[in-house]
């Protein structure tokens, strides 16, 4: 016990030391003086001390559980109880659906706007989840496809007056094309190399948009993009925000449906196999090239759709919206959620996008909390919030059929 206290104490001191420059020293640039905020140090120390106690306790519990029989753990795990138990699962889904549908009627324009953004990130996260989570291809340039979608709508609307619904499939298709264009040269690359090339690709797209003034209007971007029309209705701003919310919600639902079907299909299993072991995957008769390209193309398509939605939502696009940070956030959603887990990605997207909004009060600490929680996640739950549960098959001994008991979310 004393040992535990000592460990927590050391952690606390470490945190105090590490955060000292950001949390305690504040330079007042107006008067050129330094403000020493010693009270912050105390908060950090006490917080880190108890935080580390709690973490260690959780960790202890976790390792303790893992010593038990695996199947017993499977039965007992809350997450599995939820996913395995259809009643609980459907109730939860019903509540979530009811809430999301009722949401615009219970909140103001600001809330709706934030929620729409969060849902867009759910879709983006699920799209990238195909590439990173399922197929295991580390893509750091995902935002490029988002940009392709956004600029397709912005440019086609600006030059030809094309409407949202006409451009939506075009944006998706163009992004898919770019996905394949990126896919081909990186087919031979893995891991770090793949990450670097995709990162470069994302930056190239952004730089082109920034510098090719004649094409993309450079850093100043394109404004005055039309909002989506809905059945020819004339909507005021707030109505149109609500409509957009439902549009994105619909998108999210369709995406969840699609990704869920994909991951339990022949193609989805091939992606997983590719992620798990590339050589074994090929030796089992899977065409690596095709499998990778499908993953890239499909992942990109979703980003393209969301790009079009993004342009329609903000009515303004410029290259600053498509920086690496954006890719990093989407990637963080996938990693935090648990590679390949749909439920995890949804949760992570909501947490990562909503929390900072509601934590504006602590805006100074926002990035710190963000970074800190990511590090803690990696240490204590590297498999993500919700680990991917694979579909279970139930076989009737007499009747040889492929009945399923549940579908993994």
Partner 1 sequence: MKQNDQTLPVLEVKGLTMDFGGLRAVDHVDMEIQNGEIVALIGPNGAGKTTFFNCITGIYTPTSGDIIVHTKFGEKRINGKKPNQVTELGLARTFQNIRLFPNMTVLENVMIGRHCRTKAKVIGALLRDPGTRKEEKDAAAVSYGILEKIGLTHLANEMASNLPYGAQRKLEIARALATEPVLLLLDEPAAGMNPQETEELTGLIREIRDQDKIAILLIEHDMKLVMNLSDRIYVMDHGQRIAAGTPMEIKNNPEVIKAYLGEEADA
Q: Is 199 helix (H, G, I), strand (E, B) or coil?
A: helix
Please say which residue, 380 or 395, places its beta carbon nearer to partner 1. 395
281 binds partner 1 per the rule CB under 8 A: yes
Please say which residue, 129 or 216, places its beta carbon nearer to partner 1. 129
**The only residue of 26, 158, 227, 288 in contact with partner 1, by rule CB under 8 A:** 288
Which CB contacts under 8 angstroms, 24+ apart, belong to 204-212?
204/144, 205/141, 205/144, 205/147, 205/148, 205/178, 205/322, 206/143, 206/144, 206/147, 206/319, 206/322, 206/323, 209/147, 209/151, 209/319, 209/322, 210/319
Please say which residue, 161 or 285, places its beta carbon nearer to partner 1. 285
Which CB contacts under 8 angstroms, 24+ apart, belong to 355-363?
357/114
DSSP E strand stretches across 172-238? 222-223
Residue among 132, 50, 45, 118 at smallest CA distance from 334 = 132
283 binds partner 1 per the rule CB under 8 A: yes
| Interacting residues with partner 1 between 248 and 277 (CB under 8 A) | 258, 261-262, 265-270, 272-273, 276-277
User: From residue 66 to residue 105, what is the string marking binding to partner 1 with x (rule CB under 8 A)?
Assistant: ----xx----------------------------------
287 binds partner 1 per the rule CB under 8 A: yes
Q: How far apart are CA 335 and CA 339, in angstroms?
A: 6
**The only residue of 298, 308, 312, 336 in contact with partner 1, by rule CB under 8 A:** 298
Please say which residue, 375 or 394, places its beta carbon nearer to partner 1. 394
User: From residue 358 to residue 397, what is the string marking binding to partner 1 with x (rule CB under 8 A)?
Assistant: ------------------------------x-xxxx-x--
φ, ψ of residue 25 to 5 degrees: the values are -80, 125
Query: Which residue shows structure tokens 């990162």?
Result: 199
Contact positions toward partner 1, by CB under 8 A? 70-71, 258, 261-262, 265-270, 272-273, 276-277, 279-288, 294, 298, 388, 390-393, 395, 400-402
């Amino acid at each position: 016990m004393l040992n535990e206290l000592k460990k927590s104490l050391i952690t606390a001191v470490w945190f105090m030391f590490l955060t000292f420059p950001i949390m305690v020293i504040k330079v007042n640039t107006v008067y050129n003086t330094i403000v020493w905020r010693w009270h912050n140090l105390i908060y950090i120390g006490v917080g880190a001390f108890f935080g580390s106690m709690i973490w260690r306790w959780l960790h202890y519990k976790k390792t303790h559980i893992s010593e038990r029989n695996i199947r017993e753990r499977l039965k007992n795990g809350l997450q599995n109880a939820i996913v395995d138990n259809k009643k609980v699962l459907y109730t939860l889904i019903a509540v979530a659906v009811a809430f999301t549908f009722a949401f615009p009627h219970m909140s103001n324009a600001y809330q709706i706007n934030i929620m729409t953004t969060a849902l867009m990130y759910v879709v983006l996260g699920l799209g990238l989840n195909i590439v990173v989570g399922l197929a295991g291809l580390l893509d750091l340039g995902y935002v490029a496809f988002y940009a392709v979608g956004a600029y397709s709508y912005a440019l086609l609307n600006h030059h030809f007056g094309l409407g949202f619904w006409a451009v939506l499939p075009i944006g998706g298709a163009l992004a898919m094309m770019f996905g394949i264009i990126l896919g081909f040269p990186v087919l031979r690359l893995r891991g770090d190399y793949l990450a670097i090339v995709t990162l470069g690709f994302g930056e190239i797209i952004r730089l082109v948009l920034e510098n090719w003034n004649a094409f993309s209007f450079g850093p100043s971007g394109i404004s005055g993009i039309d909002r989506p029309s809905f059945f020819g209705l004339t909507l005021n701003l707030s109505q149109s925000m609500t409509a957009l919310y439902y549009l994105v919600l619909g998108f999210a639902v369709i995406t969840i449906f699609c990704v869920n079907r994909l991951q339990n299909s022949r193609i989805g299993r091939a992606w997983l196999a590719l992620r798990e072991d590339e050589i074994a995957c090929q030796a089992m008769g899977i065409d690596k090239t095709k499998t990778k390209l499908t993953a890239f193309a499909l992942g990109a398509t979703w980003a393209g759709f969301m790009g079009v939605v993004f342009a329609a939502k903000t009515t303004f696009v410029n290259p600053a919206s498509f920086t690496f940070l954006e890719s990093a956030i989407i990637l963080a959603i996938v990693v935090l959620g648990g590679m390949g887990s749909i439920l995890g990605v949804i949760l992570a997207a909501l947490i990562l996008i909503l929390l900072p909004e509601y934590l504006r009060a602590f805006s100074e600490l926002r990035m710190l909390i963000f970074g800190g929680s990511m590090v803690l996640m990696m240490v204590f739950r590297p498999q993500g919030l919700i680990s991917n549960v694979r579909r279970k098959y139930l076989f009737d001994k007499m009747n040889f059929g492929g009945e399923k008991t549940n579908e993994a979310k």
